[in-house]
Structure 1
Amino acid sequence: MFLRTFGWSLAVTVAALITALFYGGWNAFVLCLILGVLEVSLSFDNAVVNAKVLERMSEAWQKIFLTVGVLIAVFGMRLVFPLLIVGVTANLGPIDALNLAMEKGDPSVPGTYGYVLAEAHPQIAAFGGLFLLMLFLDFIFEEREISWLTWIERPLARVGKLANLSVVVGGVALVLAAEFLAEDSHVVLLSGILGMLTYLVVNGLGSLFEGNLEAEISEHGDVTPAKGASGPSGLAKATGKAGFFLFLYLEVLDASFSFDGVIGAFAITPDPIIIALGLGFIGAMFVRSITIFLVRKGTLAEYVFLEHGAHWAIGALAAILLLSIKVHMNEVVTGMVGVVFIGAAFLSSLRYRKLHPSAGGAEIEADAPKVEV
């Protein structure tokens, strides 16, 4: 089971480390390894949320996300995206941006690749911070049968009955960040609004088409859905347009999670090749494998508070991104916040299983959706 799930990630890791060794010697090898570990620690909560959404997708769309989606994550967000940001910010063409990146200039020196990317950090942080904040708020304002941090989750769920509360809270947070943290408040406001709108549009369209799919299957109860159309719980699985928008939602979500890692990587090395190897090939591949593992094992159903822990980690990451508009946040601290929330949620889940044995066990694993890639 372990090799079946993590085999490709381990193979890609070995290949990436060997490439880094030949490219820049042992120093590049160590930096590549550090970046890979950093990306995995920062993105574990990403994998938990990915798995939760992936369970709602048909088998075909699961395969598309775990293949095409990973290629987008590796090459798009970890390689092309930084070049695009530098090109737009410095008014450079793609070739000029690539040439600037390959110069490996010191990020503290004006005009270098790392410096230009760092200068664009407020816009990136505002966009990613608002996208993740909206995701966190929509989760925390929704009533659930089981709560983790009951003393705060249940009151927030009751308050969340107010219509559009997540938009109001997100908007207030953006205004405060722009007013008190940003040097250029207009740029931060615009980027934050775009992040919020992106979340609302993509999440809304995905929910709309998924809801239509469930309604169709409920209406035609005598019709057996096609393979991958419904899961063990009897809920419809997203296909067609619903699957596409959930796929798009996951890609934007991955992009938002990647912002802090891509920017933070330049505090470790300005070399785009090492960053691509560490963040993209090692980090993104392990996030993919962890996602597959969580779906195959039915882990989110077995450990009931993991989803809660992941969303609290997302909320913390959103706050860190917004604060980082003005204050530099250590990447190790950012990674540890996610690890602490996920670890605490895991321990709470173990305690819950002891008190409620029927809540987890072999039957969950047997009913878990199968992901074959």
Structure 2
Amino acid sequence: MRHFKYSFLVTALGLTAAFLWGGTTGLLITAILGILEVSLSFDNAVVNASVLKDMDPKWQSRFLTWGILIAVFGMRLLFPIAIVAVVAHLGMAEVVQMALKDPDTYSAHLHASHVEISVFGGMFLLMVFFSFLFDESKDLHWLGVIEKKLATVGKLESIEMVVSLGILWILQGFLPPEARLSGMLSGISGIMLFVLIHSISGLFEQEEGEAIAHGVKRAGVMGFLYLEVLDASFSFDGVIGAFAITKDVIIIMLGLAIGAMFVRCITVYMVRMGTLDEYVFLEHGAHYAIGALAFIMLISTQIEVPEVVTGLIGATFISLALFSSIRYRKRELIQEQAT
């Protein structure tokens, strides 16, 4: 339980603040939003763990401290306000007043930018998925021959970008004429951000046998930035979807903050307990769940996809990967005993 002490602390503070702000109703809705955030973001925790396990313990700690502040106040409060300010051509202070005093109008403005948000987040997550799918350095393949064949495609330079841009090009044909330009720019921005983060990270990779503390620190910075952008991409739909439950931005922020803290603690727990090393296909399942989420975000520009569907798909991939990992471990033990 010690790995989740910060989660329980944030939960206690969040629920207390929710009760003081919105009474019993506010308390109940905050708890519901927190539970939904955790249930829909487990795949995010697995992928985060795959990145965090290679980072310095100091940066792992900062992921829980600095990272949660960025996640709560940055991505779940300030970022939606900034989006509305840009789309509605309003000042930040004016949008803050709108969010607090006229949440229905604020919600309408936020939903009006749904296409741009979904395409940006969808393309970023699609790059995350394709980079894993087309990774020729993978030694273990969950889907056997199929995944192995796809991994060999990774020998083609920048293939994940080519495929992603192709999907974005096809998507434009289904968007309303007035949203095609903004949708294309948003999608390209998502792809560029992914490429930029990984390109800058490459600048700080060490030569074989070389160890420079400054370089390791810089690599930690880029890993931290990548995790925050990944979390942001996961949170886009969650923030917008939360308005279906309540229009109160303070309650939304508190509920999603509780969920985000639990997701971060689950991530650190997986790293400290070596969960990904023990359940070898868990990372595979999480990336397929991310790929499904990316396509759902893109599809949502045309039709509304209930969040429960997204959650069930992610949970299915994770469950199947966990089952496959257990079977794999049993086969390995049998082979070891036989030898």
Q: TM-score range by the shorter chain?
A: over 0.9
Is contact 2:134-2:151 (8 Å) kept? yes
1:334 corresponds to which residue? 310
Is the alpha carbon distance of 1:150 and 1:269 closer, same or farther for their aligned partners in structure 2, counting shifts above 3 Å?
A: same
| TM-superposed deviation, 1:351 | 1.1
Is the alpha carbon distance of 1:249 and 1:359 closer, same or farther for their aligned partners in structure 2, counting shifts above 3 Å?
A: farther
Give the counterpart of 1:196 among 183, 191, 202.
191
TM (normalized to structure 1)?
0.85
Give the counterpart of 2:293 among 317, 320, 328.
317
| TM-superposed deviation, 1:326 | 1.5
Moved more, 176-185 or 331-340: 176-185
2:40 corresponds to which residue? 42
The CA RMSD measured in Å over matched residues stands at 1.9
Provide Cα deviations, 1:16-44, integer angstroms capped at 9, x if missing partner. 12222232222222211111111112211
2:171 corresponds to which residue? 177
| TM-superposed deviation, 1:73 | 0.7
Provide Cα deviations, 1:155-208, integer angstroms capped at 9, x if missing partner. 211222222111111001111112113451111000000000000010121133
Distance 2:245 2:219 in 1: 40
Give the counterpart of 2:31 among 19, 30, 33.
33
TM (normalized to structure 2)?
0.93
Is contact 2:40-2:311 (8 Å) kept? yes
Is contact 1:182-1:188 (8 Å) kept? no
Provide the aligned length of Structure 1 versus Structure 2: 334
1:136 corresponds to which residue? 129
Give the letter for the 2:197 counterpart: V
- Percent identity between matched residues is 52
Is contact 1:269-1:275 (8 Å) kept? yes
Distance 2:20 2:70 in 1: 26
1:263 corresponds to which residue? 240
Richer in helix (by share):
2
Provide Cα deviations, 1:52-74, integer angstroms capped at 9, x if missing partner. 11112122222222211121011
Q: Helix, strand or coil: the match of 1:180?
A: coil
Q: How does 1:293-312 map to 2 (within 5 A)?
A: 293-312=269-288
Provide Cα deviations, 1:49-98, integer angstroms capped at 9, x if missing partner. 11111112122222222211121011100111111111111111121111
Give the letter for the 1:136 counterpart: F
| TM-superposed deviation, 1:104 | 4.6
Q: Is 1:120 aligned to residue 97 of structure 2?
A: no
Is the alpha carbon distance of 1:358 and 1:78 closer, same or farther for their aligned partners in structure 2, counting shifts above 3 Å?
A: farther
Give the letter for the 2:183 counterpart: V
Give the counterpart of 1:159 among 148, 153, 161.
153
Q: Is 1:187 aligned to residue 182 of structure 2?
A: yes
Q: Is 1:252 aligned to residue 229 of structure 2?
A: yes
1:148 corresponds to which residue? 142
1:97 corresponds to which residue? 95
Is the alpha carbon distance of 1:127 and 1:48 closer, same or farther for their aligned partners in structure 2, counting shifts above 3 Å?
A: same
Distance 1:206 1:291 in 2: 21
Give the letter for the 2:200 counterpart: L
1:272 corresponds to which residue? 249
Distance 2:210 2:262 in 1: 40
Q: Helix, strand or coil: the match of 1:160?
A: helix
Give the letter for the 2:17 counterpart: T
Moved more, 36-45 or 177-186: 177-186
| TM-superposed deviation, 1:331 | 1.1
Provide Cα deviations, 1:187-245, integer angstroms capped at 9, x if missing partner. 10000000000000101211331x2x2x15x147xxxx77xx9xxxxxxxx72221111
Give the letter for the 2:229 counterpart: V
Is contact 1:104-1:271 (8 Å) kept? no
Q: Is 1:357 aligned to residue 333 of structure 2?
A: yes
Any stretches of 5+ residues in structure 2 without a counterpart?
A: none
Distance 1:263 1:151 in 2: 39
1:66 corresponds to which residue? 64
| TM-superposed deviation, 1:346 | 0.9
Distance 2:244 2:273 in 1: 36
Moved more, 18-27 or 332-341: 18-27
Give the letter for the 1:120 counterpart: S
| TM-superposed deviation, 1:140 | 0.3
1:109 corresponds to which residue? none
| TM-superposed deviation, 1:151 | 4.4
Is contact 1:133-1:319 (8 Å) kept? yes
Any stretches of 5+ residues in structure 1 without a counterpart?
A: 107-111, 230-237, 361-373
| TM-superposed deviation, 1:279 | 0.6
Give the letter for the 1:114 counterpart: S
Distance 2:265 2:34 in 1: 14
